[in-house]
């Protein structure tokens, strides 16, 4: 009897014996390949954690829908909230709702525009400026420091778009003979990137390289280049960012000359772990940055899933 009582007491003070934890998760747009993978990694990680339940919501690229989802989470009194923002400039109301309800809030992948996050709010992601710098430095070297560059932007409402592009332009300051001749958004989408790249080619303006804010757009650009009878990687260099399965395959096939690995699994797992620490009032680091890594034909195999 004493043994059983001691065992119960011990279990009561182990992490896994804590009350069940419910986490509400709002993803900006689940039909985005990168974000869909991130959601799947979150779900898989939660299954490994006893007592942890995730409630996923798809904001479908709609700011108002996402605001309502966060309000619903707070009214349901979930233990923590994770948000991948639709618009990083529209997060103030979500932050206020969560903090007033005293519910821990973790932003993942896209950091709010606020200079300082308040107590009870965390962030896990990567330095988007660094992604642009790594991408453009590799392109600049391949271009021999001169030529015409087109920049394919993601959604203009995302700070990832602005920061990755900022990184590209920081590197270009060192290369006055590389000229930006086009800079337009394809909204992270492959189909829109195909159309945009086709229009650029039809315009007749010479383009030596394309720096795309994400792999899906880079692949779309490469497909349009091939459809126009040109060879991506030879006639026009194409660079992506994210380093997911599709990007790695595109590197292998020569569609892309470079991409920059963003660890969406690390971000997904890290966001769940951070939310749990905050909900359980354990010590935590409120902002976590996961480094980017350069991927080329020489090293892409290291990034393939086992």
Domains of the chain: 2-125+264-290 (3.40.50.2300), 128-261 (3.40.50.2300)
Residue 5 has what pLDDT? 38
H/E run at residue 217: helix 215-227
Question: Which residues are bridge partners to 22 per DSSP?
Answer: 53
What are the distances in angstroms from CA 116 to CA 26, 72, 237, 286, 287? 22, 25, 38, 11, 10
Residue 115 has what pLDDT? 85
Mean pLDDT of 10-21: 52
Residue 9: is its pLDDT beyond 50? no
What is the token pair recorded at 151?
Answer: 């920049």
Residue 207: is its pLDDT beyond 90? yes
pLDDT, one tens digit per residue, over 170-179 is 999 999 999 9
Mean pLDDT of 250-261: 97
Placement of tokens 């040109």 in the chain: 230
Q: How far is CA 30 from the centre of its chain?
A: 12
- In whole angstroms, give the CA distance from residue 149 to residue 137: 13
Task: Transcribe 143-185 into DSSP letters.
Answer: HTT-EEEEEEE--TT-HHHHHHHHHHHHHHTT-TTEEEEEEEE
Residue 7: is its pLDDT beyond 50? no
Residue 247: is its pLDDT beyond 50? yes
Question: Which residues are bridge partners to 23 per DSSP?
Answer: 54, 80
Give backbone dihedrals phi and psi of 181, rounded to 5 degrees, phi first.
-105, -20
Mean pLDDT of 257-266: 94
Residue 11: is its pLDDT beyond 80? no
Spatial CB neighbours of 112, under 8 Å, sequence gap ≥ 6? 85, 88, 91, 92, 95, 123
pTM: predicted TM-score of the whole model, two decimal places:
0.79
Mean pLDDT of 59-70: 97
Mean pLDDT of 219-227: 98
Binned at pLDDT 50, 70 and 90, residue 289 comes out as very high
Question: Helix, strand or coil for residue 120?
Answer: coil
- Do residues 295 and 239 make contact, with C-beta atoms less than 8 angstroms apart? no
DSSP class of 213: S
Residue 185: is its pLDDT beyond 70? yes
- In whole angstroms, give the CA distance from residue 263 to residue 124: 11
Lowest mean pLDDT among 30-34, 118-122, 254-258, 296-300: 30-34
- Do residues 39 and 30 make contact, with C-beta atoms less than 8 angstroms apart? yes
CA torsion 193-305-23-273 (nearest 10°) is -120
CB atoms within 10 A of CB 6: 10
Q: Of 193, 166, 169, give the one whose Cα is nearest residue 179.
A: 169
Average pLDDT, the chain: 92
Comparing 113 with 229, the larger pLDDT belongs to 229
Give backbone dihedrals phi and psi of 99, rounded to 5 degrees, phi first.
-70, -35
Residue 225 has what pLDDT? 98
């Amino acid at each position: 009897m004493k043994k059983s009582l001691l065992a119960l007491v011990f279990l009561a003070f182990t992490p896994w014996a804590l009350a069940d934890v419910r986490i509400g998760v709002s993803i900006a747009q689940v039909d985005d390949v990168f974000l869909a993978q991130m959601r799947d990694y979150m779900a898989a990680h939660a299954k490994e954690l006893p007592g942890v339940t995730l409630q996923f919501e798809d904001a479908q690229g709609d700011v108002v829908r996402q605001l309502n989802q966060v309000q619903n989470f707070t009214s349901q009194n979930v233990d923590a909230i994770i948000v991948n923002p639709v618009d990083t400039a529209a997060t103030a109301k979500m932050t206020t709702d969560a903090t007033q309800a005293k519910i821990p809030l973790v932003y993942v992948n896209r950091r709010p525009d606020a200079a300082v996050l308040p107590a009870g709010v965390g962030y896990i992601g990567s330095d988007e400026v660094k992604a642009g710098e790594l991408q453009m430095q590799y392109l600049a070297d391949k271009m021999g420091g001169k030529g015409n560059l087109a920049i394919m932007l993601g959604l203009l409402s995302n700070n990832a778009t602005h920061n990755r592009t900022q990184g590209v332009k920081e590197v270009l300051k060192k290369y006055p003979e590389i000229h930006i001749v086009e800079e337009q958004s394809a909204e992270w989408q492959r189909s829109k990137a195909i159309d945009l790249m086709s229009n650029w080619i039809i315009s007749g303006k010479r383009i030596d390289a394309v720096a795309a804010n994400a792999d899906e757009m880079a692949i779309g650009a490469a497909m349009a280049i091939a459809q126009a009878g040109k060879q991506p990687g030879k006639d026009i260099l194409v660079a992506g960012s994210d380093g997911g399965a599709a990007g790695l395959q595109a590197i292998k096939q020569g569609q892309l000359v470079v991409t920059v690995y963003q660890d969406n699994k690390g971000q997904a797992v890290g966001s769940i772990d951070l939310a749990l620490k905050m909900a359980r009032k354990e010590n935590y680091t409120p902002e976590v940055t996961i480094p980017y890594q350069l991927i080329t034909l020489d090293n892409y195999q290291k990034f393939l899933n086992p």
